[in-house]
Each structure stands twice: as structure tokens, then as C-alpha cells.
Structure 1
Amino acid sequence: MPHISVKMYPGRSLEVKEDLAKKIQKLTVEELGCSEGHVSVSFEDIKQEDWQKQVVEQIKSEDLIIEPNF
């Protein structure tokens, strides 16, 4: 607890993803008061043409906290 899943367009390096994962982990520990070892982060690259079907249509409206504006 907790697991954070990040979906985004392809093109970012493993180094960039690792850096972001560490920052997400650190913030999660600070905000939720949990142990660093209890936080996991994953990334999934989704092609732009698949974004609507694989991401937007899969999110329940009641689960969306911040809506995109694009």
C-alpha cells in the first residue's frame, strides 16, 4: 500500500521514469506517512492513438480527481 500507476505517451527514457518514480514515492511517504518500502510505482506507455480507449474510457468518473484539459 499504496501502488501508483502512471500512464503516459511513449518517449521518455528509463532514467526519466526512475527519477519521477522516486519523486512520487518520496511525496507519497511524506503525505501519507507510510514506509518507503510500502510504495510501488509503475509506468505504462500508451500510444496517442490508443489513449482514448485504453485510458480515458477506463477511468470511472467518480475516481477522477483532476480532469485533463486538452
Structure 2
Amino acid sequence: MPHVTVKMYAGRSNAEKQELSDRISEAVRDVLGYGPESISVGIEDVSPSDWMEKVYATDIRPKEDTLFKRPGYGPLAR
């Protein structure tokens, strides 16, 4: 605990994904005080053509009340 899931467009290298995972883990340690053994990070690739259906419609829009950073696109953009 905690587990962080990142969903993003497909096409990034494993090195970029590792760097992102390392930085997320570091932020979790710094802000929340968890040790590295407590943190896990998953990265899921999503095709751009599937984004609105598979991510926006299922993970973003219905969970609007849990968003701390809103997207700048779609119905939730402000």
C-alpha cells in the first residue's frame, strides 16, 4: 500500500516507463512517508483510439469526485 496505476497512450519505451515509475515512487515516499517496499506502480498502455471508451468512460468520468487533477479534454475539462 499504496498501489499507483498509470494508464497512458501506448508507445513509450520501457526506460521511460521505468523512469516514470521511479519518480512516482519517490513522490509517494516523500509526500506520504512510505518505504519503497510498500509501494507498487503499474503502467497500462492504451491505444489512442480506445482512450475515451476504455479509460475516460470507465475510470475518469464516473469517478469525478476522486479526481485531484482533472483532464483538460472531454466533458470534465474546465
TM-score (norm 2): 0.84
Structure 1: gaps (5+ residues): none
What corresponds to 1:64 in structure 2? 67
Query: How far apart in 1 are the matches of 2:68 and 2:54?
Result: 18
Partner of 1:54: 54
Corresponding residue SS for 1:12 = coil
What is the alpha-carbon root mean square deviation over aligned residues?
A: 0.9
* 2:13 matches 1:13: yes
> Mind listing any 5+ residue stretches in structure 2 that lack a counterpart?
74-78
Give the match for residue 42 of structure 1. Answer: 42
RCO (CA 8 Å, sep 6+): is it higher in 1 or 2?
1
**Under a length normalisation based on structure 1, what TM-score does the superposition of the two structures give?**
0.93
Instruction: Could you list the structure 1 runs, at least 4 aligned residues long, displaced by more than 6 angstroms after superposition.
Output: none
Matched-pair identity in %: 36
Deviation at 1:64, TM superposition (A): 1.6
